[in-house]
Amino acid sequence: MTPTAGNGSSTPRTWSARLLGAFSGPSPGSGGSEDRTDPSQILPPGQRKAAMTSLDALEMKLSFWALAVATVVSIAIPVYILAAHKVTKRGGRSITVGPDAILLYGAILLFCAVGFFALWKRKRTILCFDFFLVGFGLTVSLTVVGFVYIFFGAWLMLRAWRINKYGTTNAKVIAKEAAARPRGRERKETAKASGRSPATAGERKPPTANKRYTPKAPPRKKIPKPTE
């Protein structure tokens, strides 16, 4: 029997959707309790910290496929190198590449396992640094792919910064919020105006007396000369 969605419909779900649902929870079309939030909605300051440390549906999906590709690469490349018996020459000696490849891609495979755990727990910070480590490891043999993973981790951190500052990751909403906020001299004038009370805004206070007044020194007394 073909698995169907949980809301009673006969639409079959693919194996990738079921595997992704194991990490991200019920999908939006499966009748789960989790609802997809509107990306244009601005979160209040009290909810930004939780959203900043967690992951949304788009980030979960992209992170899952990125970790899956890195896992396949970290398994396939060592197998290919060991099967081809590749060697390299250093100082007139031939050195087998297999042990180095097993060590490098074994570490990348370990980082992928940590990434899947962070994805399951929806931990953005751990997942970002995990993508950095995977990217740096892949730059040894796959430079372009490695930098893609590094930029992906930076993209996740950028979205967290946007949520913390603006309450949303929508670029159009952020542009409107940034245009509406005062800048430079306007911000300083607004701060000065808010610091003054309305009753004394148009009045000038008289100068106050200086408390550090130094009195004049008394005249010196003349000492009479001694008489003989």
What share of the chain in percent tops pLDDT 70? 63
pLDDT band at 224, cuts 50/70/90? confident
Q: Is 224 helix (H, G, I), strand (E, B) or coil?
A: coil
Confidence check: pLDDT of 18 > 70: no
Give the mean pLDDT of the chain.
Answer: 77
The Cβ of residue 186 has, within 10 Å, a number of other Cβ atoms equal to 10
Confidence check: pLDDT of 85 > 60: yes
Quick one: average pLDDT of 130-146? 94
Q: Give the separation between CA 162 and CA 143, rounded to whole angstroms.
A: 29
Confidence check: pLDDT of 98 > 50: yes
Measuring CA to CA, which residue among 110, 129, 126, 108 is closest to residue 118? 126
Please report, for the chain, the start and end positions of each structural domain, with discontinuous segments joined by +. 41-175
> Both tokens of residue 120?
């399951």
